[in-house]
């Protein structure tokens, strides 16, 4: 499935977070939602990205936006990751990469000449109307949370 274009309706989802609490897209209707997809819990880039969103959370909340991280691996893995780095927002377990596929971020990747399927680091800013306001592909972690905050302020 292709990446969701800006201006298109964001696909519905229902996933559990690190505490076993279910999150759905419809539960965030009427407010902005930062939905960021990251490859794997507790890896250097993913940790740096989660910590940047963690540190910026007060500004996101001030902008009336929720932040959700999505990746493969189960709730237990998410709980360990969240506890280790004091992640103060939901990390959703997309174990069977169904949501990653809906959003077009389950892609063929290559590392040291080996090809495999995995999550491409991608962030969606979903507006209060449920439509994709902005999308970042192949996210560079440094300064990314700030870029998303800037886009949120322009909503």
Q: What are phi and psi of 57, to 5 degrees?
A: -55, -40
Distance CA 146, CA 90 (A): 19
DSSP letter (8 states) at residue 43: S
- Total residues belonging to the chain: 155
pLDDT tens digits along 109-139: 988 999 999 999 999 999 999 999 999 999 9
Residue 55 and residue 57: Cα distance in Å, rounded?
6
* Entry pTM: 0.96
pLDDT one-digit tens code per residue, 58-68: 999 999 999 99
DSSP H or E segment with residue 109: strand 106-111
pLDDT band of 1, cuts 50, 70, 90: low
Which residues are annotated as catalytic? 46
């Amino acid at each position: 499935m292709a990446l969701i274009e800006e201006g298109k309706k964001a696909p519905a989802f229902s996933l559990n977070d690190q505490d076993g609490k279910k999150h759905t897209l419809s539960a965030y209707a009427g407010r902005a939602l930062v939905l960021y997809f990251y490859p794997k819990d507790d890896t250097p880039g993913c940790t740096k990205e989660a910590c940047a969103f963690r540190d910026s959370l007060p500004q996101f909340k001030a902008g009336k936006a929720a932040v959700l991280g999505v990746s493969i691996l189960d709730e237990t893995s998410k709980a360990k990751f969240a506890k280790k780095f004091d992640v103060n927002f939901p990390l959703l377990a997309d174990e069977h990469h169904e949501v990653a596929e809906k959003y077009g971020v389950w892609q063929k990747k290559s590392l040291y000449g080996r090809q495999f399927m995995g999550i491409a680091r991608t962030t969606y800013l979903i507006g209060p109307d449920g439509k994709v306001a902005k999308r970042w592909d192949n996210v560079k972690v440094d300064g990314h949370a700030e870029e998303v905050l800037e886009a949120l302020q322009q909503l």
